[in-house]
A and B are shown apart, each in its own frame.
Chain A
Amino acid sequence: SQQGEEDPQALSIQEGENATMNCSYKTSINNLQWYRQNSGRGLVHLILIRSNEREKHSGRLRVTLDTSKKSSSLLITASRAADTASYFCATDGRTSGSRLTFGEGTQLTVNP
């Protein structure tokens, strides 16, 4: 399977609720990044977490990284309708050179 697999594939929640998305990967990484993409648009970088970091915050976003389990999670707190988008994790493997490997994404729908 692909390096950087998101779970779930789709998530539907109500405004104000928290949304948690997970990412698993297979090989050792230098860092892991999360991106957001609104329908048919370019990706927007959200947060980068390095392999020696365990948790990082940015506004309503919280990212955790567990290198022993090769997994990461993205938590969006107090979600808003504007958070509706696809969310991708991307890994920068230690043997992948300049390549970022993206997962297939989680489609988040926040209902007003």
Chain B
Amino acid sequence: ETGVTQTPRHLVMGMTNKKSLKCEQHLGHNAMYWYKQSAKKPLELMFVYSLEERVENNSVPSRFSPECPNSSHLFLHLHTLQPEDSALYLCASSPGLPNYEQYFGPGTRLTVT
């Protein structure tokens, strides 16, 4: 589990706040991912980065803004979120694309009030 770290682990924010989620991988991987996990729903892929370039944006609202400054770090900037955005946000990395196993961080539990 320590190969991919996420901070913060828990976040409560109001609908008008701006916050950022951080993910760091220590595995030397080239691809990184953001997923959203809501109760009673399958894991939803949000964004995919390969070598710091975004290769997939899965129709995610613009209130979620990813940033990948290098292959080890991935951010998810949040602004003017809605209560339905409350979920567990998971970061993952893989050696490359496609067809590789993914290594997940522990997640950030986000609550939007």
Contact = CB atoms under 8 A, between A and B. Distances in A.
Interface of A: 2, 4, 30-31, 33, 35, 40-45, 48, 88, 92, 97-105
Interface centre among A31, A100, A102, A104 (most CB of B within 10 A): A100
B42 A30 contact: no
Given A98-B50, A99-B45, A104-B41, A92 B104 contact: no
B104 A42 contact: yes
Contacts of B66: none
Contacts of A44: 1, 104
A43 B33 CA distance: 13
Contact of A98 (B97, B106, B107): B97
Contacts of B88: 40
Nearest to A50: B99
A92 B45 CA distance: 13
Contact of A99 (B42, B48, B105): B48
B11 interface: no
Interface of B: 1, 4, 6, 31, 40-43, 45, 48, 50, 55-56, 58, 88, 90, 92, 97-99, 101-107, 109
Given A42-B90, A102-B42, A97 B107 contact: no
B10 to A, nearest CB: 10
B5 to A, nearest CB: 10
A105 B40 CA distance: 9
Given A92-B98, A98-B98, A42 B109 contact: no
Nearest to A102: B43
Contact of A30 (B40, B99, B101, B109): B99
A42 B31 contact: no
Given A42-B1, A42-B90, A104-B42, A97 B98 contact: yes
A101 B33 CA distance: 13
Contacts of B56: 97-99
